[in-house]
Structure 1
């Protein structure tokens, strides 16, 4: 049996390693010259940047894949105890940490309710995560029948689908600063905390209970290790090789046609890419109609100085709810929340000459803006708040939603495929198997179970395990 994987993001690499490690002939084609998808290393003038992701959780998910390819224990994960600094326009600082005592000390000073309810909050987000992991994250959804189950319905109810994330956090905290810091977790799946279901508050569990990590040498070392693991397991990986079309035969896909015209036959095909962009291109179908996740406006800035920044640093807007209303309307915010990742704070060797600032603001998908003007708006806001990035720039690169769409074949530049801003897209994401073709599968952030590095890694592994089960049975 031969499986062809289209796309070498983390989901594709995960699927390739899993299949090959179990003896299946596996070939992966990636149109770019690098593997790892958005987990891309960018080195400019002596400054190293991880394009994404900057925040690493669930390292055991990556290690499980690496173990199959003989690459486990090759990465050094550093736990960032106080991992995110949240800075507000009035100068208030609130840090996020997996250290319960540190969190309690902060809450006691300006959120008495939160201080009293914090342990219950931790218990509740732990339940959210454990239920979500066992019922949703650790399995492929391949048909409508997968949703018809009393136990699944019960678990769905238990993850609070009818409550918004913002409302959920209101139940525990009175401080608007605490709620804004926690509401930002919705952006981890490209969504709006005032519309996304409380289910995704489980992300808080990952950061506040399990912890946030950084991989020594840069988080992109994960993608590099997974690439070697897939190769070690026996998968054949081809970079710079674009698949142009799928060859159809009634109810199945016979194979793929490469850019050079070569035809490669397959028993199974896995598409690891944004299905809103990739599937229409490969099958000549219309693009789907769904609410895409947010995109991003990104500045990579190499500085000649070390600024008073944390590894993960947020400067919030005055009105967070208004910011998401603007994004919903397709507009760039004139007062955006600004995220800065400076990995040099934890690992000076990656940028010895000064800070390597990865600066990101949320952007409406499919919408462009004058990049120089918006860049200056961001720099001016940072400067007003004591973060003088623009005074120390030695090198700079700007990425817009159009760049993200082009480089990563991402529908309208959306970072995570469909948003989770409505119940259907949150709980009925595109399934991992085609309804039309019995041997066509999907993995990655635009399909079940969703976005985020460990989650898309699970997606690829789930699909591979499903195929292995089919092969075992037949």
Structure 2
């Protein structure tokens, strides 16, 4: 029986562990934190439960497939709730509209704001479905190691057909004219940590997931999904080493031979999967001499994605203005992204709020559990801002929109870029590794397999196929399938 070490118990690591264990491998998962799921981290303060992330779930079939392919019933581990009217979008001037998978309701919402958008919405849905199906069939299931992998006739044709050279904002201007609608649909770029004015129109396919397939929530909190994956992995024989940090992956003759933890435990291995931010984990775990294709200078020159400033606020009441998901936009969205990617904090930030107790009061029986997220720049020496100062900016803006958070505040916890960097080993606190603001970083993200070490693999949002929980799960599955294929 071959031994696999998976470093990091995020969704990619969990996905890989289930696939590998169900195919007869001896799998050991090492995780520095006390929980599995990575950024899908539970935070419990008093009677309030928060999902640190992600809060918006799509592509349930990807998660269910992990269990089903292992011969397990996902409903034995967690339960989905579909949210049809899922996101209320509010502009700086109070204009708002609700996103919904109900097409009749969406058309009515669009007609109020933008007759042009109402006329063109059916064409928009057809185009994002086309983008999604091309990506799903051509890119998601594959592992790419070089530009040459894209040059086969069929795949190269697929690349050309997903609008790689068009920017997301330009694409959306084909279908929407009202400023609020453009902001709402352009926000999909933040799901991959990028700017809608720089990232490829390809990622507009995210709209298909939310506006057609639907937005989901896991009953009891989205973190139940990670808990279910951990339980399934244990049932299949996976060994978990929580609160255990790996110190080094030992390399000999261009192969990983052993994983060593900080407390001196050593595990001889046949393959290693690093499930974490590649830009941080790879240089931390593998000596530079063994990775000539990914030297420290190259890593340090990388352009990281955005980070986040998060407030988890437990209230003594339920605010009637709130639903499950809502976004309060800045006045100048273009300037906000320019500011962020210049490395500075936005002083008029767009604010996302998840209030999962709206759908599931059991997770917060005494009042709203508000997960308040603002995009933040990656960490640099020039962009520090005090936690209290930025929290005040956010609360003041929400109060101007009729949300008196401080008046009803019972519990509060703040997590910013520095804690994200420390807790999740995230390069400069970035949520998604390298940004997708360039064509190269959109379509040639770091490979899932080391170019220098034959049996070392990578899973997670910083590698192919990219950020977002479903993509991370797919990356873990792709890596596991590659290992199984090579051993066949």
Under a length normalisation based on structure 1, what TM-score does the superposition of the two structures give? 0.98
User: Contact conserved, 1:445 with 1:456, CA < 8 A, in 2?
Assistant: yes
Q: How far did 1:25 drift?
A: 1.5
Confirm whether residue 347 of structure 1 aligns to residue 350 of structure 2.
no
1:61-86 deviation per Cα after TM superposition (whole angstroms, max 9, x unaligned): 11111232625113221111110000
Superposition map of 1:16-415 within 5 A: 16-67=17-68, 68=70, 70-74=72-76, 75-143=78-146, 145-285=148-288, 286=296, 287-307=299-319, 308-366=321-379, 367-415=383-431
User: Contact conserved, 2:147 with 2:444, CA < 8 A, in 1?
Assistant: no
Q: How far did 1:149 drift?
A: 1.0
Secondary structure at the residue paired with 1:39? coil
Q: Which ranges of structure 1 fall in alignment gaps of 5 or more residues?
A: none
Q: Which ranges of structure 2 fall in alignment gaps of 5 or more residues?
A: 289-295
Which stretch has the larger CA shift, 255-264 or 204-213?
255-264
Instruction: Supply the distance in 2 between the matched residues of 1:109 and 1:357 (Cα, whole angstroms).
Output: 29
Instruction: Supply the distance in 2 between the matched residues of 1:305 and 1:248 (Cα, whole angstroms).
Output: 56
Q: How far did 1:383 drift?
A: 0.4
Confirm whether residue 3 of structure 1 aligns to residue 15 of structure 2.
no
Confirm whether residue 471 of structure 1 aligns to residue 472 of structure 2.
no
1:159-193 deviation per Cα after TM superposition (whole angstroms, max 9, x unaligned): 10010100000011111111100000000011100
Instruction: Supply the distance in 2 between the matched residues of 1:78 and 1:428 (Cα, whole angstroms).
Output: 34
1:68-124 deviation per Cα after TM superposition (whole angstroms, max 9, x unaligned): 262511322111111000011111111111111111111112211111111111010
Secondary structure at the residue paired with 1:130? helix
Instruction: Supply the distance in 2 between the matched residues of 1:19 and 1:207 (Cα, whole angstroms).
Output: 31
Instruction: Supply the distance in 2 between the matched residues of 1:232 and 1:127 (Cα, whole angstroms).
Output: 39
User: Contact conserved, 2:144 with 2:444, CA < 8 A, in 1?
Assistant: no
1:12-33 deviation per Cα after TM superposition (whole angstroms, max 9, x unaligned): 0000000000111111111111
Superposition map of 1:415-430 within 5 A: 415-430=431-446
RMSD (CA atoms): 1.1
Under a length normalisation based on structure 2, what TM-score does the superposition of the two structures give? 0.95
Secondary structure at the residue paired with 2:120? helix
Secondary structure at the residue paired with 1:137? coil
Instruction: Supply the distance in 2 between the matched residues of 1:263 and 1:380 (Cα, whole angstroms).
Output: 52
Which stretch has the larger CA shift, 104-113 or 144-153?
144-153
Instruction: Supply the distance in 2 between the matched residues of 1:33 and 1:205 (Cα, whole angstroms).
Output: 35
Distance 1:236 1:71, change over 3 A: farther
Instruction: Supply the distance in 1 between the matched residues of 2:475 and 2:141 (Cα, whole angstroms).
Output: 8
User: Contact conserved, 2:315 with 2:367, CA < 8 A, in 1?
Assistant: yes
Instruction: Supply the distance in 1 between the matched residues of 2:269 and 2:144 (Cα, whole angstroms).
Output: 22
Instruction: Supply the distance in 1 between the matched residues of 2:73 and 2:233 (Cα, whole angstroms).
Output: 9
Q: How far did 1:427 drift?
A: 0.5
Q: How far did 1:255 drift?
A: 1.4
Q: How far did 1:234 drift?
A: 1.9
Instruction: Supply the distance in 2 between the matched residues of 1:220 and 1:138 (Cα, whole angstroms).
Output: 25
